[in-house]
């Protein structure tokens, strides 16, 4: 097994106590357990506190623009399916401005894992309401409480066709490591929603609150899609692997009839003469 320090990069600048530290640790451990080669791994992020994670995790990394990590990752993975592509970001990044890409990456069943660090708040921009904030939640942009029902990210992903759905908690790094490992190992699109407290701006959804408002899935068959829909509608957050199904991945389908062009082979077949007939 690889030593997890292989994945050390910069020292995080997250606030002391931020849930994202737990995610980083779990990700490193999962990577070590899987023996991921940093040179063959790409960590793709959007913008937000959480999206800085690739500054702290040693591998290829691309920190893109807000909400678009899934689209960039799609281009990367399709271009070189041999890469391990992991997406990470915040709840705003994934479930607000990135909604569109989440839905469509899920239905494509692209073989990537997407880790959403869900703190139910906008961290980096200093505490505005997030799509996952509870109704009534008071923030600087919702001084009278939020008027919106929260987006249920995992439910959305499931409804969109994701083949792996799990929820973890930064406070439980052991389980989170397992989940992330499974998600990366899963062949197909895997969404991991992580309850990851923002200790600075969200004084409601704290570690303790999450402990009190979550429960461990027991005796659950992740193959049961109907049950997964139900679990995801629970008032409390279920922790663990909620849904898992093997299906052909997007890359497999796209390249079904054709040999994938290995990336290294940069001299490609550039002939076009055979097409000329169309134009005569």
Partner 1 sequence: MKMNDITVRIGGQAGDGSLATGEILSKYFRRIGFYVATDKDFPSRIRGGHTSYAIRGSKKRIFSLDDRIDVLLAFDEDSILLHMDELESGGVVIFDSSRKDLEIKREDVRKVKIPLANIARKELGLEIIKNTMALGVLSKLFSLDSNIMRQTIRDSYKTKSEKIIEENLLAYEKGLEYSKDIEPMEGYVIEGDKVAPDTLLLMGNEAIGLGALAAGCRFIAAYPITPASDVLEFLSRHLPEKGGVAIQAESEIAAVNMAIGAGYAGLRSMAVTSGPGFDLKTEGIGLASMIEQPVVILDAQRAGPSTGLPTKTEQSDINHAVYGGHGDKARIVIAPGNVEEAFYFTFEAFNLAERFQVPVIILSDELISWNKQVVKRFDLDKLKVDRGKLELNPVSNEREFPRYDFQEDGISFRTIPGVEKGIHLETGDEHDVYGHITENASNRVKMMDKRMKKIQVMKNELFPSVVQGEGDVAVIGMGSTMGPILEALERIPREIKFIRIRTLFPFLDDVALHLKDVKIAFVVEQNYLGQLEDLVKLNTGFRNTVGIRKYDGRSFRPGIIERRIREVMGW
Ligand X SMILES: Cc1ncc(C[n+]2csc(CCOP(=O)(O)OP(=O)(O)O)c2C)c(N)n1
Q: Which residues bind ligand X (CB under 6 A)?
A: 47-50, 66, 89-93, 117, 119, 121-125, 130, 198
18 binds, among its own copies, ligand SF4, ligand X, none (CB under 5 to 8 A by kind): ligand SF4
User: Which position among 119, 160, 177, 196 is part of the footprint of Mg ion (CB under 5 A)?
Assistant: 119
Pick 9 or 107: Cβ nearer its own copies: 107
> Is residue 199 within the footprint of ligand SF4 (CB under 6 A)?
yes
Look at residues 91, 257, 104 and name the one whose alpha carbon lies nearest to residue 189: 104
**Across the strands, what pairs with 191?**
114, 165
How far is it, in rounded angstroms, from Cα 180 to Cα 46?
19
User: Which stretch, 30-38, 159-167, 177-185, 198-206, contacts ligand SF4 (CB under 6 A)?
Assistant: 198-206
117 binds, among ligand X, its own copies, partner 1, none (CB under 5 to 8 A by kind): ligand X
* Phi, psi (deg, nearest 5) at residue 117: -85, 100
Q: Per-residue contact track with partner 1, 188 to 207, x per CB under 8 A? A: ------------xx------
Q: Helix (H, G, I), strand (E, B), or coil: what is residue 214?
A: strand
The two tokens of residue 6 are 């292989």
| Total residues found in the chain within this entry | 280
119 binds, among ligand SF4, its own copies, partner 1, none (CB under 5 to 8 A by kind): ligand SF4
User: Which position among 26, 32, 36, 71 is part of the footprint of partner 1 (CB under 8 A)?
Assistant: 71
Q: Could you tell me the smallest distance in angstroms from the CB atom of residue 93 to ligand X?
A: 4
How far is it, in rounded angstroms, from Cα 181 to Cα 38?
15
Site for ligand SF4 in 109-148 (CB under 6 A): 119, 123-124
Q: Helix (H, G, I), strand (E, B), or coil: what is residue 234?
A: coil
* Phi, psi (deg, nearest 5) at residue 231: -55, -40
Look at residues 28, 11, 213, 24 and name the one whose alpha carbon lies nearest to residue 120: 213
Binding site for ligand SF4 (CB under 6 A): 14-15, 18, 20, 49, 119, 123-124, 198-201
């Amino acid at each position: 097994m690889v030593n997890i320090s292989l994945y050390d990069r910069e020292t995080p600048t997250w606030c002391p106590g931020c849930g994202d530290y737990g995610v980083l640790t779990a990700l490193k451990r999962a990577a070590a357990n899987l023996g991921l080669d940093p040179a063959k791994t790409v960590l793709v992020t959007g913008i937000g506190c959480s999206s800085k994670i690739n500054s702290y995790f040693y591998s290829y990394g691309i920190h893109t623009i807000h909400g678009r990590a899934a689209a960039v990752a799609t281009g990367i993975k399709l271009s070189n399916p041999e890469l391990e592509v992991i997406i990470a970001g915040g709840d705003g990044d994934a479930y607000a401005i990135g909604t569109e890409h989440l839905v469509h990456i899920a239905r494509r069943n692209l073989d990537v894992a997407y880790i959403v660090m869900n703190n139910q708040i906008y961290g980096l921009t200093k505490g505005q309401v997030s799509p996952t904030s509870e109704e009534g939640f008071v923030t600087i942009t919702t001084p009278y409480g939020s008027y919106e029902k929260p987006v249920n990210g995992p439910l959305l992903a499931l409804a969109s066709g994701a083949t792996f759905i799990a929820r973890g908690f930064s406070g439980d790094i052991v389980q989170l490591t397992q989940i992330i490992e499974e998600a990366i190992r899963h062949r197909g699109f895997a969404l991991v929603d992580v309850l990851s407290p923002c200790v600075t701006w969200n004084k409601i959804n704290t570690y303790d609150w999450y402990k009190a408002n979550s429960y461990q899935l027991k005796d659950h068959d992740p193959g049961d899609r109907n049950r997964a829909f139900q679990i995801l509608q629970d008032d409390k957050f279920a922790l663990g692997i909620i849904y898992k199904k093997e299906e052909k991945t997007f890359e497999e389908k796209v390249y079904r009839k054709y040999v994938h062009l290995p990336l290294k082979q940069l001299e490609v077949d550039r002939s076009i003469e055979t097409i000329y007939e169309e134009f005569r």
